[in-house]
Amino acid sequence: MRPAARLFTAFVLAGIAAGVQAQEPGRASVEALTYPELHFDPPRPEEHRLDNGVTVFFLRDASLPLVEIQARFGGGWSRYPRDYYAAGTALPSLLRRGGTRTRSPDSVSHALEYLAVQTSFGGSGESVTSSMNTLREHLPEAMDLWMEMLREPAFDSTQLTVWRDREVESVLRRRDDPGRLAFSEFNRLLYGDHPVGWEMAPEDLTPERLNRETIAWLHARVVCPDNLLLGVSGDVTWEELSPLLEAELADWPACPSSLPPPPEARVGAPAGVYLVPRPVNQSSVVVAQPVALRQGDSPDYFASRIGNAILGASGFSSRLVGRIRTEEGLAYGAASVWTTPRSYDGLLGATTRTRTDATVRAIRLILETLASMAETPPSEDEVGTAVDEWVNGWVFNFESPARIVGRTLAFRASGLPDDWLERYLEGIQAVRPEDIQHVFEEHLRIDDMVILVVGDPDELLAPLEALGPVTLLEVEEVRPLPSGEPRSRR
């Protein structure tokens, strides 16, 4: 080696040695650093009450010159007889598309576009919801327009006909989708003549039930201030907002009557196997039982959420997918179901789709996997993974002020505490493997399972009898009805 090269090598080695000697004190210094414990205090909306008694949740956000107002009206078609089902289902769409007392449908759309206002309208059996997002500078005009849409809808007859025709087409196509048919027939079987079990039928869409007068009658009793919760977020102060809200709501008449109480649900059907005949080469399977556990601040409820994730609600990492897809190759996917409504019993079970000749094997695997949850506790790794997945996504519940306000509206309407998410986080983090085994031991009843299959009777009837007696559910073929000719549903 040349002298210059030897000198360079010695210089490099000396530098490395010096770096190694310097690294140890540096690492020690880093490891000795201390940090204050992180505390995340979620922003909370202010709660105000207007002169007419309407509660408003308000959260200011000056990051963008936008304001969003959300309205939630408690009550919906589930509080009224079946005759109002179609009217209640159509109501949100016609609030947006049906015009107002002073504006045609096209005029409303042009005004929304001119003011750059974004709106949404939705609903369910228990509520009607709407939101309006606008530039701060357009707030008074946008609020006038939005409130007119809510308070004084015209329910344009042409738009009502468009909605009815679209819904009739949906009813006709429902029987062509085996998966959709399986869920609708299972709900009807378990919940009977309760709103949870209702499916739109041609007789619901006849002019006798679905007309402007029926929709207006229901609108007057649901979309009114006694049922209203408001939420506001954006670039406006309460001092600026309050007079606008008072002016818009001051002359809004009270609801003409109180909402009827929710109908009582008698959930259940005789345990056994039910087959909906369809000449298809793939079976749609629903296996479930009624379960009385309700959403609430209890260890069993939180254990059920993590247990359900481990069982089949966490996708490809779940036990059901591992058994049915990965190990046996019987289906592309499978999922568990554990619903926990606030006011009636939910369901505990699972669903999948599989080829016809694998139907019984897939059902047996579902039952075995369900039973395993009650036999032994899940591993610490399974619980830790399921808890971490939820906890790691918890902060996204607070990603926008509008989302925070909307969630507060939903919690208040459901009777949950305003800090429900914080309680949920603490409850989820406290779940242990033995808690999950306990909650399944307490609520799982394999012998009470209702097994519903939509599939080919020629191929399935005999194999399904290995699981027990089979009841055939003949689903009526749906055809459009001539106007004004209602018929009864089987």
3-state secondary structure the chain: CCHHHHHHHHHHHHHHHHHHHHHHHHHHHHHCCCCCCCCCCCCCCEEEECCCCCEEEEEECCCCCEEEEEEEEECCHHHCCHHHHHHHHHHHHHHHHCCECCCCHHHHHHHHHHCCCEEEEEEECCEEEEEEEEEHHHHHHHHHHHHHHHHCECCCHHHHHHHHHHHHHHHHHHCCCHHHHHHHHHHHHHHCCCHHHCCCCHHHHCCCCCCHHHHHHHHHHHCCHHHEEEEEEECCCHHHHHHHHHHHHCCCCCCCCCCCCCCCCCCCCCCEEEEEECCCCEEEEEEEEEECCCCCCCHHHHHHHHHHHHHHHCHHHCHHHHHHHHHCCCCCCEEEEECCCCCCCEEEEEEEEEEHHHHHHHHHHHHHHHHHHHHCCCCHHHHHHHHHHHHHCHHHHHCCHHHHHHHHHHHHHHCCCCCHHHHHHHHHHCCCHHHHHHHHHHHCCHHHCEEEEEECHHHHHHHHHHHCCEEECCCCCCCCCCCCCCCCCC
Q: Which structural domain range is residue 201 located in? A: 46-249
In DSSP terms, 485 is beta-bridged to none
User: Is residue 490 included in any domain, yes or no?
Assistant: no
Q: What is the pLDDT of residue 240?
A: 97
Domain co-membership, 244 together with 277 = no
Domain co-membership, 220 together with 279 = no
Number of compact structural domains in the chain: 2
Domain co-membership, 295 together with 207 = no
Domain co-membership, 298 together with 186 = no
Domain co-membership, 87 together with 208 = yes
Q: What is the pLDDT of residue 172?
A: 84
Domain co-membership, 188 together with 121 = yes
Q: What is the pLDDT of residue 490?
A: 26
User: Is residue 60 included in any domain, yes or no?
Assistant: yes
CATH number at residue 382: 3.30.830.10
- Of 313, 476, 489, 292, the residue nearest 389 (C-alpha): 313
User: Is residue 196 included in any domain, yes or no?
Assistant: yes
Distance separating alpha carbons of residues 391 and 425, to the nearest angstrom: 7
Domain co-membership, 164 together with 300 = no
Domain co-membership, 288 together with 414 = yes
pTM of the model: 0.84
**Is-contact 436 310, C-beta < 8 A?**
yes
Domain co-membership, 85 together with 204 = yes
Domain co-membership, 293 together with 242 = no
10-residue stretch averages of pLDDT, the chain, 490 residues long: 50 49 66 75 90 96 96 94 96 97 96 96 94 97 98 97 94 85 91 89 94 97 97 97 96 94 86 94 95 93 96 89 91 93 91 95 96 96 94 86 94 91 93 97 96 94 93 69 35
Q: What is the pLDDT of residue 40?
A: 67
User: Is residue 267 included in any domain, yes or no?
Assistant: no
User: Is residue 33 included in any domain, yes or no?
Assistant: no
User: Is residue 410 included in any domain, yes or no?
Assistant: yes
Q: What is the pLDDT of residue 23?
A: 53
Domain co-membership, 383 together with 352 = yes
Q: What is the pLDDT of residue 11?
A: 45
Edge-first strand listing for the sheet containing 334-338: 334-338, 346-355, 282-291, 450-455, 272-277, 470-472
User: Is residue 18 included in any domain, yes or no?
Assistant: no
Domain co-membership, 243 together with 279 = no
User: Is residue 477 included in any domain, yes or no?
Assistant: no
Radius of gyration of the chain (CA): 29
Q: What is the pLDDT of residue 32?
A: 81
Q: What is the pLDDT of residue 36?
A: 78
Q: What is the pLDDT of residue 476?
A: 64
Q: What is the pLDDT of residue 315?
A: 81
